[in-house]
Structure 1
């Protein structure tokens, strides 16, 4: 793959394109109306901080290991092949479903743009709602990505910049019709509603890790990757908070629409024409989200194919186009078929747990990598046992905090005790254990507190998910474990012969 294809601007646009999708146009109104009220602005701030913690961990790993593959590469280097396979297999599924879910939202917004009913471009067939627009767009984006990184990067930069301009327009137009009195009371669902809302709007930030997947195609990884990840996250967080603030000050809480909140809000203040701008912004967000998501998925498949955990042909790079064309085509066709037959709501319910699991694993991997994976001699088993014990306490304290919050939300003493234990374990880890692999170029600030806090925050957000998400995660993990055992055994036998 072309090593000098991506600049800092390309990386920032890559992250913005993945994160600043259509979700903000739907999620904001729902969270404000049912969970947080006007304090949805703080929900986005809390979610942005949690994404920042994970992004810092990703940035250090991306600088240390500037290889395609993201979370798979990092977890594989630290915890071994099986846990890396479980992590990346869930991420691959998550990306493909997320791509299908995003592109499935194109037709309703496109219908709004043309002033047509939302179901205009949906074809009923044998109990299915076929979306040929989603199918065709998936294939078109697949072709664009197959043609080359530079071509798709230029297209993404142009589309992302236009999308950001439209978002800025929505923010400015919204504030011209805003009334601070509409944002009162600010905490109608109390402070707890802010955190419940943060657990939901966090998924609007999923995608910054796609920047790390392009590490091999960056000119200066040690400088450009952290700037790309943090730059994209900063722009997106600012846009989300400003859009949320404009919405809750345009319309009082009782008048918020749970679905098309921004379109309804503009209509209620006499700016019905602005709903077309909202629709155009959503359409552009859907296209950029799908483009970047399919880009990241193809790079993950190529990385796994390179390790022979999946067929090696997935890692094959086109000699002229310099792209992993087989991986790109296969995941594009899979997303297109899923988007054609599956409703957006069904897909959206499945897109969550795997990404948080990957973030959780990367934070743990960074702690172990710093303390127990030196460039020289391996530390004594006693040192590894002490580090492992500290990490176990941090994980246990995080899970205990989440369980107490879920079962006894008003039991603040229990949550404070759990948090104190986690902080004490982190401080003890810093004071009692020697780092055997300190970074030389870029390192996470306030180590090990930042990755430990990332472990806690991701555990907390995992605790907000419903039972079906865990059932799907368990079934999928069992399937991919069986595949791993059978395929790797067969591959090892062939290599032995």
Structure 2
């Protein structure tokens, strides 16, 4: 029974080459890139730059965005390789299903549902709050007086305007993918136009002296001015700003969920991910540079930086252009946030891990209609009952966990042979004397001193074990640095020596992974510098996850508990892969060889 359960949890999805999709393949490279840019450029452009400049990094905000972009680009490269391997809807869910196994894939898919629901709800609520601010908060005042909610864990009032936005978006997405992407392309073009207006006009009013303010020149009434200069809060401020800026790049994975609707997914999805991340970084870098040159960092408005900056320069016309553009930008991000949600639900329901009726595709619109409606109901409820701060607190953990799993999957697949035996080749581990556990044989195998050029079951097993150890050591190092930084000090030689030893062990494990032969599969895109880039991504994402508040982990655990009830009560029995393998076992003779199910066999 235990063996059967383990088998069910680790069974992998087989994606037949040339499998047809029920969805409508209409998305071009331009559509995919616009969707990625629209999903990424939203609140980050019009709010985040001012908030980070004011509270974390000062003029060095542009460096914070650079660091965050680098971390996101690493995850983006991993997504791009998987998109070239598996042109299927579902993003990290499918990627982990075909490489790690069903249970890990379910956790990721369930987590992505949470991420996209909260992302949609928070943007709808943010758009509502932005419009309310333009109306002098008259809407929130009236609703608070009429429908007060006196619960600390809920919003102060039900936001019906945000519910209206979600309903309209649900109708739009249900109408057809081409129609929704057409509107998204228009909004994205208006967003880019607004950004260019900000950068060009802001450059005219820029003054390099705002990057050179000394501590003595900071007004005494400013209680958070730091040390002045380009980096008034030091390296720690830049890193803290980068951690916050990282979430400004969340959204590019939207592109990876549309593989069933892309015209040429193996080529266009990797390109669209790279293009959207590049465009987003250039915009954020330009925006943060101009903003901090227009006004001193301590005078920035953390909630509406650009209208405030242009108002201080007495450029009222530009202020309103930017304000209107911000509304279009939030509309674009709202489309991008909800667009992948029904597609992830559709992918999971098609595999039998969620209820099958959610995978039904409307004959006329060729969209997962029921999944889209359910997505709207979930997002609308969250938007009505929670405010932006409460929603944003729950967003980041899902994204970081998905990025980590994708990076792990890249390594698993790279070091897994296309055709491998079911068990490691024990003959390979024996030395000339026949001693199976010889230390020298183990040492040679761990570091591939025999110069084996082809991946096999043994080298794949070594890689997987080393990868597990690498992840555990990374957690230990991150915990040590984040929660016990005082112990990493030359004045504490005992603890410092332990920390150095732990880092050396991590490098040794990395060397073991690097020395194993990789399987050379021809793909339209591959992550460069493997295993370095995926391993760096794993460590960085673990550090960022550990920086999240305890309440976030509690909410996340509660969401997972609901998901486990659905999986163990329904999905584990109704899985398409379980049914397929049971049919194969009946139709295949006992002596038949088992065919490899590894993703590396897909070209």
TM-score bucket of the superposed structures, by smaller chain: over 0.9
Ranges of 4+ aligned residues in structure 1 off by more than 6 Å: 492-496
Secondary structure in structure 1 of the residue aligned to 2:390: helix
Partner in structure 1 of residue 265 of structure 2: 221
Do the aligned partners of residues 323 and 248 (structure 1) sit closer, same or farther apart at CA in structure 2, a change above 3 Å counting?
Answer: same
Secondary structure in structure 2 of the residue aligned to 1:270: coil
- CA shift for structure 1 position 423: 4.4
In the alignment, the residues of structure 2 paired with residue 419 and residue 438 of structure 1 have an alpha-carbon distance, to the nearest angstrom, of 32
In the alignment, the residues of structure 1 paired with residue 513 and residue 555 of structure 2 have an alpha-carbon distance, to the nearest angstrom, of 35
Q: 457, 462, 468: which one pairs with 1:392? A: 468
Do the aligned partners of residues 254 and 294 (structure 1) sit closer, same or farther apart at CA in structure 2, a change above 3 Å counting?
Answer: closer
Deviates more, 1:467-476 or 1:85-94: 467-476
Q: 52, 64, 76: which one pairs with 2:97? A: 76
The two structures have a TM-score, normalised by structure 1, of: 0.93
Aligned 8 A contact 2:352 2:575 in 1: no
Do the aligned partners of residues 191 and 267 (structure 1) sit closer, same or farther apart at CA in structure 2, a change above 3 Å counting?
Answer: same
In the alignment, the residues of structure 1 paired with residue 291 and residue 254 of structure 2 have an alpha-carbon distance, to the nearest angstrom, of 29
In the alignment, the residues of structure 2 paired with residue 119 and residue 490 of structure 1 have an alpha-carbon distance, to the nearest angstrom, of 52
Q: 531, 541, 546: which one pairs with 1:463? A: 546
Do the aligned partners of residues 278 and 398 (structure 1) sit closer, same or farther apart at CA in structure 2, a change above 3 Å counting?
Answer: farther
Q: 161, 181, 205: which one pairs with 1:133? A: 161
Partner in structure 2 of residue 267 of structure 1: 311
Alignment of 1:66-465 (within 5 A): 66-112=87-133, 115-120=134-139, 123-124=143-144, 125-127=147-149, 128-184=156-212, 185-372=229-416, 374-375=418-419, 377-378=421-422, 380=424, 382-409=458-485, 411=488, 421-431=505-515, 433-436=516-519, 438-465=521-548
Do the aligned partners of residues 368 and 107 (structure 1) sit closer, same or farther apart at CA in structure 2, a change above 3 Å counting?
Answer: same
Partner in structure 2 of residue 487 of structure 1: 570
In the alignment, the residues of structure 2 paired with residue 83 and residue 372 of structure 1 have an alpha-carbon distance, to the nearest angstrom, of 18
Do the aligned partners of residues 429 and 492 (structure 1) sit closer, same or farther apart at CA in structure 2, a change above 3 Å counting?
Answer: closer
In the alignment, the residues of structure 2 paired with residue 342 and residue 140 of structure 1 have an alpha-carbon distance, to the nearest angstrom, of 19
String of CA shifts for 1:88-139, please: whole Å, max 9, x gaps.
1111011101100001111232245xx4213436623131422222111111
Instruction: Give the gaps of 5 or more residues in structure 1.
Output: none
Larger radius of gyration: 2
In the alignment, the residues of structure 1 paired with residue 526 and residue 33 of structure 2 have an alpha-carbon distance, to the nearest angstrom, of 20
In the alignment, the residues of structure 2 paired with residue 117 and residue 354 of structure 1 have an alpha-carbon distance, to the nearest angstrom, of 35
In the alignment, the residues of structure 2 paired with residue 315 and residue 455 of structure 1 have an alpha-carbon distance, to the nearest angstrom, of 32
In the alignment, the residues of structure 1 paired with residue 532 and residue 575 of structure 2 have an alpha-carbon distance, to the nearest angstrom, of 40
String of CA shifts for 1:221-259, please: whole Å, max 9, x gaps.
222111100100000111011111111111112212222
String of CA shifts for 1:426-458, please: whole Å, max 9, x gaps.
333122x12236343321111111111111111
Secondary structure in structure 1 of the residue aligned to 2:157: strand
Aligned 8 A contact 2:24 2:366 in 1: no
Aligned 8 A contact 1:372 1:379 in 2: no
Deviates more, 1:481-490 or 1:331-340: 481-490
In the alignment, the residues of structure 2 paired with residue 350 and residue 96 of structure 1 have an alpha-carbon distance, to the nearest angstrom, of 10
Aligned 8 A contact 1:32 1:39 in 2: yes
Secondary structure in structure 2 of the residue aligned to 1:79: coil
Count of paired positions: 493
Do the aligned partners of residues 5 and 118 (structure 1) sit closer, same or farther apart at CA in structure 2, a change above 3 Å counting?
Answer: same
Do the aligned partners of residues 129 and 23 (structure 1) sit closer, same or farther apart at CA in structure 2, a change above 3 Å counting?
Answer: farther
Partner in structure 2 of residue 43 of structure 1: 64
Aligned 8 A contact 2:198 2:322 in 1: yes
- CA shift for structure 1 position 474: 2.0
Aligned 8 A contact 1:100 1:338 in 2: yes
Do the aligned partners of residues 172 and 366 (structure 1) sit closer, same or farther apart at CA in structure 2, a change above 3 Å counting?
Answer: same
In the alignment, the residues of structure 1 paired with residue 383 and residue 278 of structure 2 have an alpha-carbon distance, to the nearest angstrom, of 31
Do the aligned partners of residues 168 and 476 (structure 1) sit closer, same or farther apart at CA in structure 2, a change above 3 Å counting?
Answer: same
Instruction: Give the gaps of 5 or more residues in structure 2.
Output: 1-21, 150-155, 213-228, 425-456, 491-495, 583-603
Secondary structure in structure 2 of the residue aligned to 1:123: helix
| Aligned-CA RMSD value | 2.3
In the alignment, the residues of structure 1 paired with residue 318 and residue 502 of structure 2 have an alpha-carbon distance, to the nearest angstrom, of 48
In the alignment, the residues of structure 1 paired with residue 421 and residue 258 of structure 2 have an alpha-carbon distance, to the nearest angstrom, of 31
Aligned 8 A contact 2:64 2:239 in 1: yes
Aligned 8 A contact 2:353 2:575 in 1: no
In the alignment, the residues of structure 1 paired with residue 485 and residue 542 of structure 2 have an alpha-carbon distance, to the nearest angstrom, of 16
Residue 475 (1) aligns with residue 553 (2) = no
Do the aligned partners of residues 444 and 130 (structure 1) sit closer, same or farther apart at CA in structure 2, a change above 3 Å counting?
Answer: same
Deviates more, 1:21-30 or 1:450-459: 21-30
- CA shift for structure 1 position 74: 0.7
Aligned 8 A contact 1:171 1:243 in 2: yes
The two structures have a TM-score, normalised by structure 2, of: 0.78
Aligned 8 A contact 1:22 1:283 in 2: no
In the alignment, the residues of structure 2 paired with residue 67 and residue 158 of structure 1 have an alpha-carbon distance, to the nearest angstrom, of 26
In the alignment, the residues of structure 2 paired with residue 230 and residue 412 of structure 1 have an alpha-carbon distance, to the nearest angstrom, of 40
Secondary structure in structure 1 of the residue aligned to 2:139: coil
